[in-house]
Amino acid sequence: MILEWIKTIAILPVNVLLTIPACVLYFTGYTHRSNYFFLVILGYIFLIAGLLLAVWTMWLFAHRGEGTAAPWNPPRKLVTEGPYAHVRNPMITSVFMMQIAEALLFNSWIMFGLFGLFLLGNMLYFPFFEEKDLEKRFGDDYRIYKYNVPRWIPRLTSWRGNRR
């Protein structure tokens, strides 16, 4: 399982958060510009919160869902606890937070643009592909969960249905 997670992390978030941004910054001739102290602090807050949320959601996928975030080894059980009781896609939310952190820390509009493209891509991918797959795999349990837990904007209260 650890090797599966290493492969998953190396292929998915490393590319989105490191490889692609580094290439874009390099090929656009990025040079560091001074930044406001407030934006640097805000960037580190987003980065730390995103990392903590990513670790928590990956732990839940591994220990409760018995799988990974990768399409080639998806969770075998539906995870609806922790951050998943508030929002359906907290793992992607963690990536969004880290992308915003990068844009703030690099003081780069191009990085905000990359975040916007990733956000748009996920806004199309989740309802048209991933959610359809989850409905096939988990049936009514997922449909009930989907009806009660929002895709992107978290519920203030924790949803307590579908727990086994």
CATH number at residue 30: 1.20.120.1630
| Percentage of the chain lying above the pLDDT 70 cut | 98
* Nearest-10 Cα torsion for 54, 135, 159, 82: -20
CA 57/CA 12 separation, integer angstroms? 15
Sign of the four-CA dihedral 78, 84, 87, 93: negative
SS3 68: coil
* Nearest-10 Cα torsion for 41, 46, 50, 51: -10
Q: Is residue 153 part of a domain?
A: no
Q: Is residue 89 part of a domain?
A: yes
pLDDT at 162: 57
1: Cβ contacts below 8 Å, ≥ 6 apart: 62, 68
Task: Decide if pLDDT at 3 tops 90.
Answer: no
Q: Is residue 36 part of a domain?
A: yes
What are the backbone angles phi and psi of residue 7, rounded to the nearest 5°? Answer: -65, -45
Q: Which of 56, 129, 53 is nearest to 95 (CA)?
A: 53
For 106-151, how does the pLDDT look when each residue is reduced to its tens digit (9 = 90+)? 999 999 999 999 999 999 999 999 999 999 999 999 999 999 999 9
Q: Is residue 79 part of a domain?
A: yes
Answer for the pair 92, 70: CB distance below 8 angstroms, yes or no: no
First to last CA, the chain: 23
Please state the rounded mean pLDDT for residues 44-66.
Answer: 95
Q: Is residue 58 part of a domain?
A: yes
Q: Is residue 155 part of a domain?
A: no
Q: Which of 150, 157, 57 is nearest to 97 (CA)?
A: 57
pLDDT at 32: 84
Strand residues in 19-108 grouped as ranges (E)? none
At residue 73 the predicted structure's pLDDT band, cuts being 50, 70 and 90, is confident
pLDDT at 139: 96
Q: How many structural domains compose the chain? A: 1
Q: Is residue 95 part of a domain?
A: yes
Task: Decide if pLDDT at 33 tops 90.
Answer: no
Domain residue limits at 144: 2-148
Model pTM score = 0.90
Q: Is residue 15 part of a domain?
A: yes
Q: Which of 6, 3, 145, 8 is nearest to 77 (CA)?
A: 145
